[in-house]
Chain A
């Protein structure tokens, strides 16, 4: 199990940042991704079981 935005999310072996975004339908352009508080820019970064993933959408509306 990992955490995505402080919510539990099932972990799969070999799962990448891209997989997490797709599974959560995070399609927004302005994303900042941090894994265990470290900025991650590579969408192919492998997520380990227990990781804390934060996907920050910057939008503040119209």
Chain B
């Protein structure tokens, strides 16, 4: 098919191409699709010092570009994509990540979402440390950066589809100069359901020459694809030919290469006996989560299921995944967790009968689309995965929102009349897929599910008279964002990790379940608070510099077992210190790495405060996150809960009703969470209400006057 389409260039901007200097271009690109202004913005030394790059740059630009009351669909809302100073190196696994930042339609807060694929590194190689898009176009447009020509344009092209797998294919074909040039194109698009929901994703393409198809990775959380659609932007496209290993012009290239080689060898030696990322990807932990009672089943009620084996990692590897070789989303990543099912025949929807390439499944998709909906069918998981991606829907939010709707249905809070005839029972894969198709068509109950759990709670109460108290307890959202797919119920630290995360309950800040619940390494409130300081701050750093989290601790060296703080993987942390210093020429140590991150973390919290959030009340989890809401949940772990009651209160559970036991357990666990919040806020240098103190901001060097002013006004 010839996809060279008729193009009308609405605006064009030329810029001077310059080599990257030690990881930085020292400028960002600003595009306003309302008035079609395109310009460069300088990156100052202060900006690098305070914000590093990636998410830091995104947050800074978003703060400057918006007002405290800017809404997600106001023209001044922005989408910022920034890859970070180390991103784009090809010597160290997991070095092609970008961070995307915007005001979220789900949370009304600044959201950050990390993503692989080629777009971020190509923007960087094209000459910019970030792409900042603002405005709202009066007709559907494409923003196109040609990094070889030194040209940025706002284009109008009639692309006759809203679905991402086709948009990526069509625009790759259109903008590539020839077949070989396709690998130099990356397309960012949302999908047909993104504009009808608050959970739209951005699909970042990377062309796979072996399959001759653009594949996609997603910036999934918080509805940034919805913002893209609202801006009337069909796609962001970059072209850069000439990717090679030293484009960052690193200060010490040999050190970068040596550090990378060490990890490549480690992966080669150990991955097959550890987590098998190269064989099965992140889905390897489906098995583990099920075995440790941590797999969310049926809206986080239960932690395992007898049928879960049907969606274990090997089921996908043996029956669906086709590549048979390690596969990554950026050049040089030997951890290679990307997995693909080729010639996968779809059974439903507008592409029924089509044979497509499905990237996935990630763990979150198996756990969310599968177990959390009570559906243990790998064929369905892949089909739902495909449609979420191409419709531009976040698999995590869709799964958790659908799980909530299904439980509401099963408990009689809503009925078939409300769902337009859909039988929203756990296990009903046809109903789950139909919800997705409804989101794409903007019709039916799918529209309500696409607005997310928080809005469903309000809608079901108002329109259907559903019990708001029960829905509050079982609706797995905080700040308006749906929980990601881990069971926090038996880990106080993880409850805090989810609830006190800046953007909402996503596990990329802290995943402490094993440290807390299984290892029992952090028994006191002070221990948990220390972990909830260190890990969120440390993990934030990946998104500042341009790294993927996985090579940090989904592989570790043989000598890690001798380390006192083995769970931190000290050798790998030192690798990151070395890489940052070697690329930028700025010598840092582990302490400075944490400080870099702490500045941005506290900036983001203050950003939340500036928008009227970021307080203790905004960090309150639903009770399902803390403990058993229902009789069935209590009884599924009765031995454990009875034992806890006996130990804590010296009572005889045999003489109590289940309701009495749930009440006693609840009072205890809510109090525990409150005490944890006190400890964490104190350790993070925040007030008792969760606001960063002026003294703490000054101490860590996040002392910009506008930031201090917000903190001071809100103490």
Q: Interface on A for B, CB 8 Å cutoff?
A: 5-7, 25-30, 32, 39, 41, 54-62
Contacts and interface: CB of A to CB of B under 8 A. Distances in A.
Contact of A56 (B273, B282, B566): B566
B514 A62 contact: no
Tell me whether chain A's interface is mostly helix, strand or loop, or mixed: loop
B699 to A, nearest CB: 27
Contacts of A28: 288, 292, 514
Contacts of B363: 62
A32 B273 CA distance: 14
27 contacts: A5-B519, A6-B520, A7-B520, A27-B288, A27-B291, A29-B274, A29-B275, A30-B556, A32-B561, A39-B562, A56-B566, A56-B567, A57-B514, A57-B519, A58-B560, A58-B567, A58-B569, A59-B285, A59-B514, A60-B512, A60-B515, A60-B535, A61-B486, A61-B511, A62-B363, A62-B364, A62-B484
B100 to A, nearest CB: 18
Nearest to B556: A58
Contact of B566 (A6, A7, A26, A32): A32
Contacts of B556: 30, 58
Interface of B: 273-275, 282, 285, 288, 291-292, 362-364, 484, 486, 507, 511-515, 518-521, 523, 535, 552-553, 556, 560-562, 566-567, 569
A48 B405 CA distance: 52
A45 to B, nearest CB: 14
A16 B362 CA distance: 36
Q: Which of A56, A61, A62 has the most CB of B within 10 A?
A: A61
Contact of A30 (B274, B364, B511): B274
B520 A58 contact: no
Contacts of A32: 560-561, 566
A62 B567 contact: no
Given A25-B291, A59-B285, A61-B511, 16 more contacts: A5-B519, A26-B518, A28-B292, A30-B274, A30-B556, A32-B560, A56-B566, A58-B514, A58-B566, A58-B569, A59-B288, A60-B515, A60-B535, A60-B553, A61-B507, A62-B364
Given A5-B520, A28-B288, A61 B274 contact: no
A41 to B, nearest CB: 8
Contact of A6 (B484, B507, B523, B552): B523
Nearest to B363: A62
A14 B556 CA distance: 32
Contacts of A26: 518
A34 B519 CA distance: 12
A60 B511 contact: yes
B521 to A, nearest CB: 7
Contacts of B535: 60
Contacts of B567: 56, 58, 60
Nearest to B362: A62
A61 to B, nearest CB: 3
Contact of A62 (B292, B507, B512, B566): B507
Q: Which of B273, B515, B520, B556 has the most CB of A within 10 A?
A: B520
Contacts of B569: 58
Contacts of A29: 273-275
Nearest to A33: B561
Nearest to B552: A60
A30 B507 CA distance: 20
Contacts of A55: 518-519
Contact of B518 (A39, A57, A62): A57
Nearest to A5: B520
B518 A5 contact: yes
